[in-house]
Structure 1
Amino acid sequence: MAEQTWDAVDAYFSERLVGHDPVLEAATAAAEAAGLPPIAVAPNQGKLLHLLALTQGARRILEVGTLGGYSAIWLARALPADGTLITLEIDPAHAGVARANLARAGLEKVAEVRLGRAADSLAALVADGAEPFDLVFIDADKQSNPEYFARALELTAPGSLIVVDNVVRRGAVADPESDDPAVVAIRRLHDLIAAEPRVSATSVQTVGSKGYDGFTLARVQR
């Protein structure tokens, strides 16, 4: 009953506040047709990312984990005409779907999909002295979240926002005895954040069409 209610509430808010969007719906359909896992953010969560990027006045956005490009579309739509979104994807098939979806959305001039291990792509951005990103969205393999977050700190500046998705793991994050590699990594991530004076952070539990999970927000301190 609870999950049916979560689905209904998500559907209600998405209908009222997100609405019908043929481009996003086509992106979802293309991902499904290509056999991608149905793990993209929900429409209301995509709108949240969009609003966060707008609130940040983001000109440069970094996404770790592209999948089919659904969240990338939401983020890239918040950019000015001269803005930049770099999104990192390890799977060539996923990257191909994402590039097509971004092109269909008319965002190919501001959005770039970089193929390869995210750890390698992040290291390359650091080595190249990339201009700081205003917003970083981390939504890839959970075991690497501590490394991704550490790299995000190197690629941001005071005032930047870092968002890490899927940090609750249906409540397992609160279990210190868990041997689930994703849970162990997420707990290590939060130990890192708690000890990091350069950020102010909080985590929020969520329920909805994607189940019981949550996200962490960390603002780089001035």
Structure 2
Amino acid sequence: MSESQLWDDVDDYFIGQLSPDDEVLEAALRDSEAAGLPQIAVSAAEGKLLHLLAQIQGASRVLEIGTLGGYSTIWLARALPADGRLISLEYSPKHAEVATRNLARAGLDKVVEVRVGPALESLAELADETAENPAPFDLVFIDADKVNNPHYVEWALKLTRPGSLIIVDNVVRGGRVADPDNASPDVQGTRTAIELIGSHARLSATAIQTVGKKGYDGFALARVLA
């Protein structure tokens, strides 16, 4: 048995016991694939982790940067209280359309707002809105283009409060993140984001490597201190 097959088998066991997809989640994945979206959604295990982190956090306002087909959005939104709110930012109108349908089927269209356009522009608009009516986010999940990860972290700091969580997905880049000479924009963006998080006085963080159905990857988790 190959190492990757073993990872898949263990993932299948854990997911089946602890975080099985239901029909709504499975439909979101099916419809995303049928629409031609890239198959890069979080795994069910990571979706459940996001759900648990939002619950542990007692989050009532969540910001997601990178909607894709709405799979991770559903996991996060299901953790919110009845009066909770999730804003998800998506660059692609096609992806946003698929996600909106998936969220409506999940009964979450009144909880989640999908904003379409370049995330950096949407984040600036959010900052203007919160300046007038402060309502910081309790949790920010960053899962978009990796080259802009440092900018997304900086915006997340502006839109959160002490005690908020910031999660950055896909930080391992197949192990390439450890190579300072790798000039790939996704690697450089991720390294800059990690170094920003590690040096920032307002953040305490760690990063975890993972293996499983999504191969070799990982995420960073930061808590806003002040």
TM range (shorter): over 0.9
Question: Quick one: percent identity of the two aligned structures?
Answer: 63
Aligned 1:186-205 pairs, distance under 5 A: 186-205=190-209
SS in structure 1 opposite 2:72?
A: helix
Kindly tell me the number of residue pairs found equivalent between the two proteins: 222
CA RMSD of aligned residues (A): 0.8
How many angstroms does 1:191 deviate by? 1.5
Match of 1:160 in 2: 164
Match of 1:113 in 2: 114
How many angstroms does 1:204 deviate by? 0.4
- Residues 126, 20 of structure 1: alpha-carbon distance in 2 compared, 3 angstrom cutoff: closer
List, as ranges, runs of 4+ consecutive aligned residues in structure 1 with deviation greater than 2 Å: none
Instruction: Give the counterpart letter for 2:192 in structure 1.
Output: R
Match of 1:213 in 2: 217
Aligned 1:1-222 pairs, distance under 5 A: 1-129=2-130, 130-222=134-226
Contact 2:21 2:44 in 1 (8 A): no
How many angstroms does 1:128 deviate by? 1.6
Contact 2:168 2:219 in 1 (8 A): yes
SS in structure 1 opposite 2:38?
A: coil
How many angstroms does 1:20 deviate by? 4.3
The CA distance in 1 between the partners of 2:20 and 2:75, in whole Å, is 13
Question: Which one is further off, 186-195 or 113-122?
Answer: 186-195
SS in structure 2 opposite 1:160?
A: strand
Question: TM-score when scaled to structure 1?
Answer: 0.98
The CA distance in 1 between the partners of 2:20 and 2:68, in whole Å, is 23
How many angstroms does 1:19 deviate by? 2.3
SS in structure 1 opposite 2:31?
A: helix
Q: What 5-or-longer segments of structure 2 have no aligned partner?
A: none
Q: What 5-or-longer segments of structure 1 have no aligned partner?
A: none
SS in structure 2 opposite 1:128?
A: helix
Deviations 1:133-172 (A, max 9, x none): 0000000000000000000000000000000000001111
Question: TM-score when scaled to structure 2?
Answer: 0.97
Contact 2:35 2:98 in 1 (8 A): yes
Deviations 1:33-79 (A, max 9, x none): 10000000000110000000000000000000000000000000000
The CA distance in 2 between the partners of 1:4 and 1:28, in whole Å, is 22
